[in-house]
Structure 1
Amino acid sequence: MSAKPDSSARAVVLLSGGLDSATVLAMAQAEGLACYTMSFDYGQRHRAELAAAERVASAAGVIEHKVIDMNLNGIGGSALTDDTIAVPEGPQQGIPVTYVPARNTLFLALALGWAEVLEARDIYIGVNAVDYSGYPDCRPAFVEAFERLANLATRAGVEGEGFRIRAPLQHLSKAQIIQAGQALGVDYSQTVSCYQADEQGRACGVCDSCRLRAAGFAAAGVPDATRYQR
């Protein structure tokens, strides 16, 4: 279904299929927004997240879900897009090798384009500055800078109401995110966060993303809904 709803309260939600983005989608819908979701097939080794995004979008009843092809493995430079770089196990110092160059900048740029076409004002992204693993494109400064760009570089920004980049998880811990999502009815068993999930979406249990996710469930006092390989 691709027709616009009658309501002018529309939002584009970046939906990776992971825990954070599923929570953000639930938050946007709780605000009464008609949600359009966007995922990216960018050459990531954990492509099981795309099937998870489809499941989450379908269960949430979004207006439309798009999957955009983007060949980031063509430039490499990340353990998530280059098979010659191993996914690290355990905490990393500084910006880890799982950082994907320019990923959130590109994702937000395409979400911005779709939002302008849809006449949507809000763009949601599940970045987090507390458990963000050192990624520079998850910081509040990045979100604020991109919002300024969005309102400088678009017709809607110059002639219309402009855009808001919404990052409601920005200052929440993983445990707080899980608690918020549970209160909104998010089924975390449908999500995939692992950097090297297998084709069935089962998590490795040892990468940085798995570590943060497991610690979040434990701190929240919520049973871990993750399916593990071992």
Structure 2
Amino acid sequence: MDAELFPRSRATPAPGAVHLPDWLGPDRQRELLEACRTWARPPAGLRTVRTPGGGTMTARQVCLGWHWYPYGYARTVVDGDGAPVKPFPDWLGELGRQAVRDTLGTEPPPYDIALINFYDGDARMGMHRDSDEDSDAPVVSLSLGDSCLFRFGNTATRARPHTDVELRSGDLFVFGGPSRLAYHGVPTVYPGTAPPELGLAGRLNVTLRVSGR
């Protein structure tokens, strides 16, 4: 992005929630993108998530470590091709732990789940909570590609109060403690805003969690 009059800085939209802009440098972004492209290939690759009510999520997803489906976890892609879920790499877990150290200053347990969502220009994510884990370890969210409007709400309701945060490629967002079960979503993606050198059309969100299993 071009230089701004007011450079972006660390922000705390709620207790236990931290936004750290530009946490991933260009080289690390490219490395993570190439890994995501490998993980997205079948078997157990990128899929469309279907909800119990018969609808579909507009963001497509691939999982590592444990396979998430509405609303639980499995070791195989039970709502897709049935293949074993891809393994969760140690280096990605260490990246998640470093993210928590840099934002919350705490030492989380080992991460063992990654949910990787791909958003094209029309994709959205409704307000929801990450509540299917048996752990209260912080959630780590990494952004690649197009910018988005990230809506971070409260723990009681999908409605206000909430805070809107623009997440750009390389940004880190961590939420734990009193904000661990806060509702959050992505109402808007801004097509064409990805760094040109990244070579990505769309947005990737890499979300790391601890299963507690």
Q: TM-score, normalised by structure 1?
A: 0.27
More helix by share: 1
Larger CA Rg, structure 1 vs 2: 1
